[in-house]
Amino acid sequence: MSKNIEYKNLDSYLKQKKSFSPVYLIIGSELLLIDEVKRNIVSSFKMDNFIYMPIFIETQNDWLKLLEEIKTISLFEQNRIFDINIINTKPGIIGSKTLVLISEFLKNQNHTIIILKIPKKDTATKNTAWLRSLLEIGVTIDIPTIQNHELPNWIKQRLSQQKQYVDNELLEWIADKVSNNLIFANQEIIKLGLIFPEGYITENSLKNSILLSNSIYSIFDLRESILNSNILKISTILDYLEKENTQLPLILWSIYEDIRIIGIIKETKEMNYYSVLDKHRIFGTHRKSIINYSYKTNKSLLNSYVNRIHEIDLIIKGAESTYKTSKVWSMINNLSIKIAGLIEYNIDFL
């Protein structure tokens, strides 16, 4: 029977490790929190010599390859964690059958773990054989959705973890500055920890710092430039972000997130565009840019961009450590220009 672990209790659960669970089901949509959960699980089992193996499922054939890989136990890589990322959010017919077979295989062993993220369970998903089979042997972690009105308090809690405090009005101000985006809020919190010592931060100190008010360019500017095909500006913005030591995963995520949402828009009736964008917290000029770009692109282009994003993501995570950081910045620049120019990406081109 499945164990249900609250997000906030996952660390203590992993430290105890009273019993081995071969399946970790992450249920939710907050990408930052999902990524933190994955990193906690992987870090915990790496101490037991588990090897991390990210898997991206884009076609039904990928499921069959995954099944064979899971069943094949290498002499030198016996303990493995498969982080399964389903690009189309649902496994499909072959994927559903494969997950049942994987569950059967995982029942009586302690050398293979799978991590699988799924959206909030709806009625249809709850009744599927593949989910029931995973729940029988796995652990579920429910990821809370941080609503816009909850973000100031979330920022307060994160600041307190690094022993920093600000007035409530300033919490609201920070939330507004990051457009109620959890990932960007976290990025700013990290910067606060680097700029200011522990303790109380005054309003003047914060607002007069370079943290939120004096940046020449931001990741938001990059996203808008890509969507509006402002090719000349893209390289300038990326050069600035590189000099500011902006995290590469954050930039890549922001590009991916726009492509992902545009893909959803392309499969949605036009009358439902705004409800989709509301759900994903896309507002203001960014909303207009997303809609306009969706009219110009097609599924083939979007798929080529997603493939390239995954390749770069693996390089950033060290799967291909021969690449220097400067090379990765160049890759992101090339990718951004191709997206802006609506040019299909040749995956053989580096």
- Region 142-164: what's the mean pLDDT? 92
Contacts of 112 (CB under 8 A, 6+ apart): 22, 70, 73, 79, 80, 82, 105, 106
User: Is the predicted pLDDT of residue 328 greater than 60, yes or no?
Assistant: yes
303/134 Cα distance (integer angstroms): 29
> CB–CB of 37/7 below 8 Å?
yes
Instruction: Report residue 285 as tokens.
Output: 């000029």
Helices and strands, number each (H, E), in the chain: 17, 8
The pLDDT-based confidence of 286 (bands split at 50, 70, 90) is confident
Radius of gyration for the alpha carbons in the chain, expressed in angstroms and rounded: 21
Report pLDDT digits (tens) over 57-112.
Answer: 878 888 989 998 898 875 556 799 999 988 666 788 999 999 999 999 999 888 99
Predicted confidence band of residue 349 (pLDDT cuts 50, 70, 90): very low
- Looking at residue 200, its pLDDT comes to 94
pLDDT score for 272: 78
Q: Are 114 and 79 in contact (CB under 8 A)?
A: no
Domains and CATH numbers, the chain: 3-142 (3.40.50.300), 148-207 (1.10.8), 219-340 (1.20.272.10)
Amino acid at 66: L
User: Which tokens sit at 41?
Assistant: 């699980």
Alpha-carbon dihedral of residues 44, 50, 51, 57, nearest 10 degrees? Answer: -80
At 335 the pLDDT is: 94
User: What number of residues does the chain have?
Assistant: 350
Q: Tens digits of per-residue pLDDT, 44-72?
A: 998 888 988 888 887 888 898 999 889 88
Question: Which of these, 6, 1, 23, lies nearest to 116 by C-alpha position?
Answer: 23
